[in-house]
Amino acid sequence: MRRLTIALVAVATLVTVAAVGAFATGCGGNSVPSDAVATVGGVSVTKADFQQLLTQAQAQMKASGMTMPAKGSATYGHYVAQIVEYLVQEKVVAQSAKQLGVSVTDKEVNDEIARIEKSYGGEKKVLSLLKQQGMTMELLKRSIRSQTLAQRAASVVSKKATVSDAQIQTYWKAHKAQYLKKKTNTLAKAKATIKQTLLSAKQQQLWSAWLSGREKALGVAYAGGYDPAQLTASPSASASSSGG
């Protein structure tokens, strides 16, 4: 049986061009409600939302024959950090969409659901596949809305990204040996590929910088034990920052 080939939200960034941002603030907890893992612009990222995505991640791993890392392990901390980062970024984009002039309508979401159902043999088949992956139709719709909104936001933010011939030349010289082993063994043949590589990197840089700026402008705070920076820090770094 085919898996539902949409970008599931538990362990992925919001859009293809998005790097995991350097999320703001140090020690959290004081200004975060007890039922939240974080706040963005004063809006809670709830523990219920976090648990829903953690459960989804566990179901996906089980379906793939994998086991969720032990709670308290470094690998488990990275999973938690990714989920929190996703949820925070979702709030940042949602709260900034109007500023960018982007939106997603209910009709667009429903049209995408209809396309998926047609592709996978109907609503019942999709619901069955979702259940296997720890998802619900509600979560699928939310995922589609969030990712579409983020893609549109990223398109606006990164539209000024450009790559010059000089930058292509520099990249070619630095990576020439790699290209000589392939069919793209001349600059003329490799130029389009190099340009796209550099353009994608520029778009990612613009997106990450925008996210960082919006996080600072909106204000992001984390509950104790949910700060991605601390969850993914090395043991020595974590110990040195524990007083923050």
pLDDT at 68: 85
Q: In the block, which residue shows the tokens 């000089």?
A: 166
Alpha helices in 71-186 (DSSP H): 74-100, 106-120, 123-132, 137-157, 165-180
- Whether residue 20 lies inside any domain: the answer is no
- Whether residue 169 lies inside any domain: the answer is no
pLDDT tier for residue 12 given thresholds of 50, 70 and 90: very low
- Whether residue 27 lies inside any domain: the answer is no
pLDDT tens digit string along 37-93? 999 999 999 999 999 999 888 888 888 888 888 988 999 999 899 999 999 999 999
- Whether residue 119 lies inside any domain: the answer is yes
Q: Which helix (H) or strand (E) holds 211?
A: helix 187-218
pLDDT tier for residue 147 given thresholds of 50, 70 and 90: very high
CA gap 73, 19 in Å, rounded: 24
Contacts of 144 (CB under 8 A, 6+ apart): 6, 109, 112, 113
Instruction: Quote the percentage of the chain above a pLDDT of 70.
Output: 83
In this predicted structure, the answer to whether residue 26 has a pLDDT above a threshold of 80 is no
- Whether residue 153 lies inside any domain: the answer is yes
Number of domains in the chain: 1
pTM of the model: 0.81
| pLDDT average, residue stretch 149-174 | 96
- Whether residue 170 lies inside any domain: the answer is no
pLDDT tens digit string along 93-119? 999 999 999 999 999 999 999 999 999
CA gap 204, 198 in Å, rounded: 10
**Residues 72-81: contacts with CB under 8 Å, at least 24 apart:** 77/231, 77/232, 78/231, 78/232, 79/11, 79/54, 80/54, 80/226, 80/231, 81/228, 81/231, 81/232
pLDDT tier for residue 19 given thresholds of 50, 70 and 90: very low
| pLDDT average, residue stretch 141-162 | 95
- Whether residue 173 lies inside any domain: the answer is no
pLDDT tier for residue 5 given thresholds of 50, 70 and 90: very low
- Least confident piece of the model among 160-164, 181-185, 238-242: 238-242
> Domain range for residue 93?
36-159+218-232
pLDDT at 235: 59
pLDDT at 218: 96
| CATH code of the domain containing 97 | 1.10.4030.10
- Whether residue 167 lies inside any domain: the answer is no
pLDDT at 185: 82
